[in-house]
Amino acid sequence: MFEDKVKQRESAPAPSVEEVERLLERPLLEMVFEAAQVHRRHHDPRAIQCSQLLSIKTGGCSEDCGYCAQSAHHETGVLPEPLLDVEEVLAAAKKAKENGAARFCMGAAWRKVRDGKDFDRVLEMVEGVKKLGLETCVTLGRLSRDQAKRLQGAGLDFYNHNLDTGRSHYEEIVSTHTFDDRLETLQAARSAGLHVCCGGILGLGEPRRARAELLHELASLDPHPDSVPINSLVPVPGTPLANEPPLDWTEVVRAVAAARILMPRSHVRLSAGRAGMTEEAQAICFLAGANSIFIGEELLTTPNPEPQSDALLLAKLGLRAEHEKP
């Protein structure tokens, strides 16, 4: 079994890119079976962690990420808006809690965090959301160690910062910052004792090898990321990747299964792209170890599945929210 090669101690080297590539090429159902076994050894297989997103600062971002609706480099119809008020954010968080979210994730279309009144306001948001009894997560772009400390002090649990794609494919997708910049921010978050949420996007025109590189990098983080979001590209008109053909659903299953095998204890989140997936494909992803989703009608700027259809799907599969007692 491949799992034997995955060292239980995360300080041991992760499987090489070549090994991960071979893992991704295995017969699909063998991979799913092994991933399901790993999943059951480390997690309650009926429990799904539920997070909800809110875009607290939308659009006008200086970065040129080729997939993103919020980059100022692309004409996507998403107009720049100022940072939301604290009250507005807390009202949305309250609603999210009522709708079954355990974690509230606030996203800002920033290249990096700048000290000043906007950052102070984000700190207030974190404090307020935490007081509502929710786990807190923010994704604000590049971050210094000092800023990470201040977020931690305000009650932040998770910092989301994705590696997005393999190192060799990164420059094809983004030119305004580097893969190493992303790694540096992850280190800053970790240095402040924050949990890290870090994953990537499938379907950016990358070869399978780049997916192997991404999974290798994620599994090389020590300790592994606490949450690993596996996003599928949501094609946004006006972006350079608007016409990228969708990936076959089996590639998503392969990435989820590999993430589960490589990072046995992490939460693997079936993230953006669920609205374009069938119930059957999602079910196989849950079998293969996905144990977290975004709930709620919207992601940041694009739609998520309807809450009623998500509730029905979880009920049909015998799954329940992780934070609700069986």
- Prior bond of 235 cis (ω within 30°): no
Determine contact, residues 262/218, Cβ cutoff 8 Å. Answer: yes
DSSP H/E element including 258: helix 249-262
Interface stretch with ligand DTB, choices 117-125, 148-156, 275-283, 299-307 (CB under 6 A): 299-307
Which residues belong to the active site? 61, 65, 68, 105, 137, 197, 269
Residues 6 or more apart from 60 whose CB is under 8 A from it? Answer: 70, 72, 79, 80, 81, 109
Of 45 and 246, the one with the shorter C-beta distance to ligand SAM is 246
**65 scored as a contact of ligand SF4 (CB under 6 A):** yes
Determine contact, residues 209/252, Cβ cutoff 8 Å. Answer: no
**240 scored as a contact of ligand SF4 (CB under 6 A):** no
Interface stretch with ligand DTB, choices 94-102, 238-246, 297-305, 306-314 (CB under 6 A): 297-305
Out of 161, 195, 260, 274, the only residue in the binding site for ligand SAM (CB under 6 A) is 161
Q: Which of residues 104-133 bind ligand SF4 (CB under 6 A)?
A: 109, 111
Q: Is 209 exposed, middle or buried (0-12, 13-18, 19+ CB in 10 A)?
A: middle
**119 scored as a contact of ligand SAM (CB under 6 A):** no
**233 scored as a contact of ligand DTB (CB under 6 A):** no
Q: Which of residues 225-244 bind ligand SAM (CB under 6 A)?
A: 231, 233-234, 236
Interface stretch with ligand SAM, choices 12-20, 157-165, 189-197, 218-226 (CB under 6 A): 157-165
Helix (H, G, I), strand (E, B) or coil at 171: helix
For the beta carbon of residue 25, count every other beta carbon within 10 angstroms.
12
